[in-house]
Chains A and B, each alone.
Chain A
Amino acid sequence: MSPATATRSGARSPRTTEAIKRARPSSSFATLREGEFKSSSREEREAEKGEEEVMATTHPDIPGEPTHTGTALLETANAAIQTFGPLNKIHQHLCAFHFYAHDMTRQVEAHHYCGHQNEEMRQCLIYDGPGADARLIGLEYIVSESLFLALPDEEKPLWHSHEYEVKGGYLFMPGTPGPIERQDLGKVCKTYGKTIHFWQVDRGDSLPLGLPQIMMALTRDGQLKEDLAQDVEKRFGVSFRKERENRAYMKGLEHGIHPLANAAGKGLETQLREVECKPAESVPRVFV
């Protein structure tokens, strides 16, 4: 496995290796076909040790041609030269479950790739899987309890608590031994998150259509669908029940779950509104 912080100098960074693999001609051009996801190219890409397959119905191929070799080589050559400051901060992979803030029955396995802005705040890119072809479906911000309490009251409902999903054993760090995982999860237990998804892969969208969606997290027993839970447990070799026991010692939020968090117990949905715009030539000319 490659180290978390890849170096950017040198002829053959992990990115170069990845891109050359991906530039192989592949048969991946397909529109959504329900229940069918196994093309030979996907099998090749996922042949590596520890790589897991994803549930068939949540992984249709994205329309488009396979990447041209010339494009891939150019992009990877460039990657060796440029500065990727914020990405170098991403040091952690968390797997958890989100559901739509207007519909608890639509649940998504969410792979978070997180970096610390500071001790009290993290920012995470959310993908629909842990593999090289994973789709960027959203993002999440994670803040300490004190930062959350300082948010305006009208903002608080957009955030969700993490206490239940951490203590319940549902949020985990793939590939990380329990004792190490628990060191950090003990902190995550006391945080709040704001999650927005842009790509509704659970309804089979092969492109990121529609409006951004506010997402919520598990808050009590009985919410997480059994088949989804078992599928994730199997693919990552974890047991939520066992983790729950291991995490019984963890302390939750100092001040308990704030009543305005978790959508203040309601549902939330996003809506598009047209607004009047100045006519395109109405402002004085500037020269760029």
Chain B
Amino acid sequence: MLDTGAGMLQSLKPVKQINQHVCTFAHYAHDPGRQIETHHFVARLNQDFLQCAVYDTDSASGRLIGVEYIVSDKIFESLPPDEQKLWHSHAYEIKSGLWVNPRIPEIVGKPELENLAKTYGKFWCTWQIDRGDKLPLGAPALMMSPQGVNLGRVRPDLVQKRDDRYNISTDALRASRLEIEEPEWINPQADYWKQHGKGFAIDINQTEMKKITPFP
């Protein structure tokens, strides 16, 4: 057993705040054709803000593939437009049934879905497992959410695989979520690719490091 001795003595408090598992889908902002299933483990810091550790599965062998932050529309509207470009909306993802809380009966989860449908997310992926990387390589990648236009829809085989594993039906969930209110307005800076036809990539460039001593 690895380090159980030390493990018994530490409180791990920030991780204990994580109390929600969400399974959904995302695509790369620089390449919408590359779509992945994601497992978000979510902690709430206040009524307007959530932080998520994102993995590729919910099993113990899950690889940590990134981090997502989720904010209310109120907070999103306060962000500068250049920042808003990096965020995505959640309404379609939730209403279409793609976003699920595995093992939670839909009737239990539904009240919160109305709130979450109005939120925006910012998701950085640090391990591109869908291209076969055995270790986290390269620069972090910005991710975007499924949307109701052709390029934003998730491939049926990915959805089927997920549905089979949890014995659920995304189609049935979509039908039952029709009554969830659409947000009155989704900020056009979010889901930037949809209206502007532009994706985003991150480059890492060499530069002069501001130093206190020689490095390394």
- Inter-chain contact B108/A78, CB cutoff 8 Å: yes
Closest to A70 in B: B111
A281 to B152, CA, bound (A): 9
- Inter-chain contact B64/A82, CB cutoff 8 Å: no
- Inter-chain contact A273/B203, CB cutoff 8 Å: yes
- Inter-chain contact B59/A85, CB cutoff 8 Å: yes
Query: By the criterion of a CB under 8 Å from any partner CB, how many residues of chain B are at the interface?
Result: 110
The yes or no answer to B81 lying at the interface (CB within 8 A) is no
A171 to B146, CA, bound (A): 41
The yes or no answer to A14 lying at the interface (CB within 8 A) is yes
- Inter-chain contact A196/B104, CB cutoff 8 Å: no
Chain A residue numbers with a CB within 8 Å of B202 are 211-212, 270-273
The yes or no answer to A4 lying at the interface (CB within 8 A) is yes
* A175-B10, A271-B203 known; A83 vs B102 contact (CB < 8 Å): yes
Task: Show 10 residue pairs from A and B whose CB-CB distance is below 8 angstroms, ordered by the A residue.
Answer: A1-B11, A63-B49, A91-B6, A139-B53, A158-B138, A180-B5, A196-B140, A208-B69, A271-B203, A272-B201
* A62-B49, A82-B104, A272-B202 known; A278 vs B32 contact (CB < 8 Å): yes
- Inter-chain contact A155/B137, CB cutoff 8 Å: yes
- Inter-chain contact B212/A176, CB cutoff 8 Å: no
- Inter-chain contact B21/A84, CB cutoff 8 Å: yes
> Knowing that A85-B61, A88-B60, A174-B10 are A-B contacts, what are 4 other residue pairs whose CB atoms are under 8 Å apart, sorted by A's residue number?
A71-B112, A79-B20, A104-B211, A141-B127
Expressed in whole angstroms, the minimum distance between the Cβ of A266 and any Cβ of chain B is 5
Expressed in whole angstroms, the minimum distance between the Cβ of A211 and any Cβ of chain B is 6
Expressed in whole angstroms, the minimum distance between the Cβ of B1 and any Cβ of chain A is 9
The yes or no answer to B43 lying at the interface (CB within 8 A) is yes
The yes or no answer to B79 lying at the interface (CB within 8 A) is yes
- Inter-chain contact B2/A116, CB cutoff 8 Å: yes
* A132-B17, A276-B198 known; A257 vs B78 contact (CB < 8 Å): no
A91 to B3, CA, bound (A): 8
A262 to B215, CA, bound (A): 8
- Taking residues whose C-beta sits less than 8 angstroms from the other chain, chain A's interface range is 35 or more
- Inter-chain contact B20/A75, CB cutoff 8 Å: yes
Q: Which of A2, A15, A91: most chain B Cβ within 10 A?
A: A91
- Inter-chain contact A198/B16, CB cutoff 8 Å: no
Closest to B64 in A: A123
The yes or no answer to B7 lying at the interface (CB within 8 A) is yes
- Inter-chain contact B10/A92, CB cutoff 8 Å: yes
- Inter-chain contact A136/B51, CB cutoff 8 Å: yes
Expressed in whole angstroms, the minimum distance between the Cβ of A6 and any Cβ of chain B is 7
Chain A residue numbers with a CB within 8 Å of B15 are 87, 90, 113, 125
* A86-B59, A270-B202 known; A136 vs B67 contact (CB < 8 Å): yes
Of A22, A63, A131, A280, the residue contacting B194 (CB under 8 A) is A280
Stretch at the interface among A32-40, A216-224, A244-252: A216-224
The yes or no answer to A237 lying at the interface (CB within 8 A) is no
The yes or no answer to A42 lying at the interface (CB within 8 A) is no
The yes or no answer to B63 lying at the interface (CB within 8 A) is yes
- Inter-chain contact A267/B206, CB cutoff 8 Å: yes
Of A87, A119, A223, the residue contacting B213 (CB under 8 A) is A223
Closest to B109 in A: A78
- Inter-chain contact A269/B207, CB cutoff 8 Å: yes
- Inter-chain contact B19/A4, CB cutoff 8 Å: no
- Inter-chain contact A286/B7, CB cutoff 8 Å: no
- Inter-chain contact A280/B64, CB cutoff 8 Å: no
A273 to B74, CA, bound (A): 28
A154 to B202, CA, bound (A): 15
A52 to B97, CA, bound (A): 42
Chain B residue numbers with a CB within 8 Å of A78 are 19-20, 101, 104, 108-109
A216 to B75, CA, bound (A): 31
- Inter-chain contact B14/A127, CB cutoff 8 Å: yes
Of A123, A261, A273, the residue contacting B200 (CB under 8 A) is A273
The yes or no answer to A76 lying at the interface (CB within 8 A) is yes
Of A207, A263, A278, the residue contacting B71 (CB under 8 A) is A207
Of B47, B52, B64, B136, the residue contacting A71 (CB under 8 A) is B47
Of A28, A79, A143, A279, the residue contacting B19 (CB under 8 A) is A79
- Inter-chain contact A102/B209, CB cutoff 8 Å: yes
The yes or no answer to A238 lying at the interface (CB within 8 A) is no
* A267-B206, A271-B202, A275-B201 known; A4 vs B10 contact (CB < 8 Å): yes
* A273-B200, A280-B149 known; A152 vs B103 contact (CB < 8 Å): no
